Chain A
Amino acid sequence: MPFSTITETAALLRQRKISSRELTAEALRHAKAAQSHWNAFLTLTEELAGAQAEAADEAFSRGEDRSPLQGIPIALKDLYFTKGIRTTGGSRLFGDFVPDFDSTVVARLAQDGAVLMGKLGMHELAFGITNNNAHYGPVRNPWDPQRIPGGSSGGSGAAVAGGLVFAAMGSDTGGSIRIPASYCGTAGLKPTYGLVSRHGTFPLGYSLDHMGPLARTSRDCLHVLNAIAGPDATDPYCRSQAYTPIDIPAQPSLAGLRIGWSEEFFFPGIDPEIRAMVESALRQYEQWGARLVPLRLGWLDDVVALSHVILPAEAASVVEPYQADWDKISPEVRALFAGGKLVPAVDYLQAQRLRRIYRQRMQAEVWNQCDVLLGPTTAITAPPIGASTVTLSDGQPVEVRAASTRLVRAFNVLGVPAHSFLGGFHTNQLPMSLQIIGPPLGERLVLAAAIRWEEEGMAGSRRPPIPFVP
């Protein structure tokens, strides 16, 4: 069971071939056994999981069927508020913080019958991509425990990739869902800005934060999205329009889909094997009836530059009330927050104004020409823990932070949906991932393209080595 999908498991639950109690007990055993190897969890909510599993089984007995998530074990990045359960933000600042309410996402998952297994490790205060957490220890990548899982939602990536949960919630301010999805070989969706409520989550960048799922398949991400998306009066930036659940048929047709791609933006400084994988994927999509549209998108690097102004300023604002406890933040992360106070207000405002101009440019030069963009998620595969630079297979040295974030950050600034999914495997045996980007509210197209890839078996069915007996 550990590596089956929500779709498969939901069918078994409905056929009463397995109960949620059995499923949850197995998942808890697996999570406990894995903890000393991967350090994915910060808190296991064993009692709550047992009670929710029992409730799900009883609901099935009564013929109630709330959603595909009913009875399915999931977990949360530890920045989602959970009533009565410690929520640390991966920081000592909030080491003893116990919220008195559930975040909107948590409440909706519970309403749909999901079983909460616990809270997952993350990069401290979500400000970083390694998950090498100074307070709670590094989360390790199940494909190679000497490597990072990516971040900041690294516990989410590791728990899903390692078969500990079926899906995990993450958050993405500059790639923090897609980077761990890429390094851990899972699917990970950053939805359109405001499609999913952020009420009851620790912020990092007010105008850049997006909440979304990681799961073993893109269809499983869709199941979670359908559970959590939609208006929320308690989040002023949540879209007010009603959300209609998305339904995507098996092996969806992509005939006529216009797929944009850009050598200029996506290929400089990337691992040659990742480039070859992307080029091969483009050809494959063309065989399925898509039309490829080459674009000149070097200016997306200007959008990335805006992120380097907006994010530090907003993040510095988030932690300013905690100046008295500054020493509880690790020096590495403290330096990032400290840098944000050097951003002049005028520069922050100019970056925000430019953001609007680039959104208009995106419409004119991208969405008027194509339906989705396809490229890699990260320029490299998961780097070793502690590495600040790595060498590509063509001998080119690259800086880990830039190689992890450069291809994903622009889409936070633009607020558009961006989805990472497993493209294939590198000769170093690590996952390589594709990223599909769509126009605002283009989740259906983005996920359909990824689901087609997965349901045609293009990424294979490898699993990470399990170093313990579950």
Chain B
Amino acid sequence: MADTSKTNIEALAAAIYPEMASDERAALVRVWSAAAARLEPLKQQLRPTVDPDARFNPLPD
């Protein structure tokens, strides 16, 4: 599972956007941290014992 802690997001942002102004980069980190934090608890629904068929298939049937 991806580590979406804020520290790791900051490190990733620094690696991808080394030239970006720090306040701009901090804003990006803030936005994605919020989205990642919102996603994290939802992932519990993906445990294979709960839904063995939760494969990657976003398209309507």
Contacts and interface: CB of A to CB of B under 8 A. Distances in A.
Contacts of A339: 28, 31-32
Nearest to A208: B58
A350 interface: yes
A339 B17 CA distance: 10
A306 B61 CA distance: 19
Contacts of A347: 2, 4, 36, 39
Interface in A225-244: 237
Given A306-B39, A335-B28, A342-B29, A355 B4 contact: no
Contacts of B31: 339
B60 A302 contact: no
Nearest to A349: B56
Contacts of B38: 305, 308
B50 to A, nearest CB: 9
Contact of A207 (B16, B17, B43, B59): B59
A132 to B, nearest CB: 19
B interface secondary structure, majority: helix
A305 B39 contact: yes
A219 to B, nearest CB: 26
B59 to A, nearest CB: 7
Contacts of B59: 193-194, 207, 237, 415
A341 B58 CA distance: 20
Contacts of A193: 59-60
A355 B17 CA distance: 30
Interface in A176-220: 192-194, 207
A308 B35 contact: yes
Nearest to A310: B58
Nearest to B39: A309
B39 A194 contact: no
Contact of A350 (B24, B34, B43): B43
A309 B55 CA distance: 17
Contact of A338 (B28, B39, B56): B28
Interface in A407-466: 415, 440
Contacts, number: 87
B1 A346 contact: yes
A355 B43 CA distance: 11
A356 B24 CA distance: 34
Contacts of B56: 349, 352-353
Nearest to B34: A308
B2 A346 contact: yes
Nearest to B13: A342
Interface string A323-364: 000000000000100110111111101111111110100000
A5 to B, nearest CB: 31
B45 interface: yes
A350 B60 contact: no
Interface string B17-40: 100100010011101101110110
A302 B12 contact: no
A351 B16 contact: no
Given A194-B59, A339-B32, A440-B60, A354 B17 contact: no
Contacts of A207: 58-59
Nearest to B12: A342
Contacts of B43: 350, 354
Given A335-B27, A343-B32, A357-B51, A302 B46 contact: no
Given A341-B16, A346-B2, A354 B60 contact: no
A308 B54 CA distance: 20
B42 A305 contact: yes
Nearest to A334: B24
A349 B57 CA distance: 10
A356 B39 contact: no
Contacts of A335: 24, 27-28
A408 B15 CA distance: 34
Interface of A: 192-194, 207, 237, 302, 305-306, 308-310, 312, 335, 338-339, 341-347, 349-357, 359, 415, 440
14 contacts: A193-B60, A194-B59, A302-B42, A305-B38, A343-B35, A344-B12, A345-B2, A347-B39, A349-B56, A350-B1, A352-B58, A354-B54, A356-B55, A356-B58
